[in-house]
Amino acid sequence: MNGICEKDMIEFLSGGRDDLLFSLADEKRRSVFGDEVYLRGIIEFSNVCNKDCQYCGLRSSNRGVKRYRMNPDAIVRAADLVAGEGLGTIVLQSGDDFSYSAEEIGKIVERIKLRHDVAVTLSLGDRSLDDYAHWRDCGADRCLLKVETGHVKLYERLRCGQSFKERLHRLEGLKRLGYEVGSGIIVGLPDMNVMDLLRDLLLLEQLDLDMIAVGPFVPTPDTPLANARQGDLELSLRVSALMRLLCPEANIPATSALDAVSHGARLQALKKGCNVVMPSFTPDQFKAAYAIYPGKNVSSIPVQVKLRALRQSLSDMGLVPSSSKGFSPRRQYVEQGTARRPAGDYACGTA
């Protein structure tokens, strides 16, 4: 563990020392990434999903969603826009939509990589490792697959019988394929307590990830959890700050779920350990239908205007919006064979 003991983690999670936690996380982020914030353009190309996760607005049994699928040309055009705006990473995300064949997705990745010098991240859910191997061959660089919670029974209940073990197995397989791998959790799912979060933090640390995404649970209409309590914003920020201390070199996005529970929280998170923002480049006619939770993609302001405002806000905060691909520094050490994992300078008991 990175120099921080469980007792202190519980104290931090309980909100006993927020000022100290957030300043330690901010310092740690700065020591690894300087003032740079990586921008990734996300294209949510299909809201069709064959899963029925109880927390998600795109669940297959939600008949209230107008479903869409973007065709390959439209996806590549959206990618052109991301690259044209000077962003170094394109994230392709969708529901678990198996109607796109592995070959079709592979061709889209190849076309994007041929046209632009960008990194491509896939967030396509539980596709087979054979599919992921093919996409790696086509040039995909990274994958994002959240464990959502390390509480096996809760995972399997909320994801309607999906196997937690299989999710972990898939993550390990993605690493073996040479991807940069990201995972993460939703904070504040029903029946989740502080000890669950402690276990999740340790699990994510142990997985030795390149990216870690943490966001609060947002109750969504027309789902079984519509009336459940919303995840606590501060608690979610504490979890990502602790992740920064445990995994200094991981890329940690300030997730859009933060803004869905409190407008402006995403920017605040960049001063509390996070170092990545992922503006949505989903075309206007589709983005409102990518309704994973309320408050996602609600703004009707054109993406170019939003991006300009985002860059300005980052500069105002003393941060530098970066157009680099933003590979995980951890990965660079692994590739150089030096596998540096810096020792934490936080000693147990100093909290």
Count of residues in contact with ligand SF4, rule CB under 6 A: 10
**Residue 278 and residue 41 in contact, taking contact as beta carbons nearer than 8 Å:** yes
Residue 220 contacts which entry, ligand SAH, ligand SF4, none (Cβ below 5-8 A, type-dependent): ligand SAH
Instruction: Show the 3-state SS of 30-85.
Output: HHHHCCEEEEEEEEEEECCCCCCCCCCCCCCCCCCCCCCECCHHHHHHHHHHHHHC
242 in contact with ligand SAH (CB under 6 A):
no
| Options 1-9, 35-43, 101-109, 143-151: segment touching ligand SAH (CB under 6 A) | 143-151
Q: Binders of ligand SF4 among 84-113, rule CB under 6 A? A: 95-96
d(CA 346, CA 351): 9
Q: Which residue lies nearer to ligand SF4 by CB, 36 or 52?
A: 52
DSSP secondary-structure letter at 21?
H
Q: Nearest Cα to 255, choosing from 215, 303, 294?
A: 215
Residue 167 contacts which entry, ligand SF4, ligand SAH, none (Cβ below 5-8 A, type-dependent): none
- CA distances (Å), origin 114, targets 83, 204, 206, 223: 12, 34, 35, 40
Rg (CA), the chain: 19
Nearest distance, CB of residue 96 and ligand SF4, angstroms: 4
Nearest distance, CB of residue 31 and ligand SAH, angstroms: 28
293 in contact with ligand SAH (CB under 6 A):
yes
| Options 92-100, 240-248, 274-282, 302-310: segment touching ligand SAH (CB under 6 A) | 92-100
Q: Binders of ligand SF4 among 267-296, rule CB under 6 A? A: 292
* Class of residue 42 by CB neighbours under 10 A (exposed 0-12, middle 13-18, buried 19+): buried
d(CA 240, CA 25): 9
Q: Which residue lies nearer to ligand SAH by CB, 241 or 260?
A: 260
Residue 155 contacts which entry, ligand SF4, ligand SAH, none (Cβ below 5-8 A, type-dependent): none
The correct pick among 42, 138, 228, 257 for binding ligand SAH (CB under 6 A) is 257
* Class of residue 329 by CB neighbours under 10 A (exposed 0-12, middle 13-18, buried 19+): middle
Does an H or E element contain 171, and which?
helix 164-176
Q: Which residue lies nearer to ligand SF4 by CB, 289 or 317?
A: 289
The amino acid that residue 197 corresponds to is L
Residue ranges binding ligand SF4 (CB under 6 A): 49, 51, 53, 56, 58-59, 95-96, 125, 292
Q: What residues make contact with ligand SAH under the rule CB under 6 A?
A: 49, 55-56, 93, 95-96, 123, 125, 145-146, 148, 186, 215, 217-218, 220, 257, 292-293
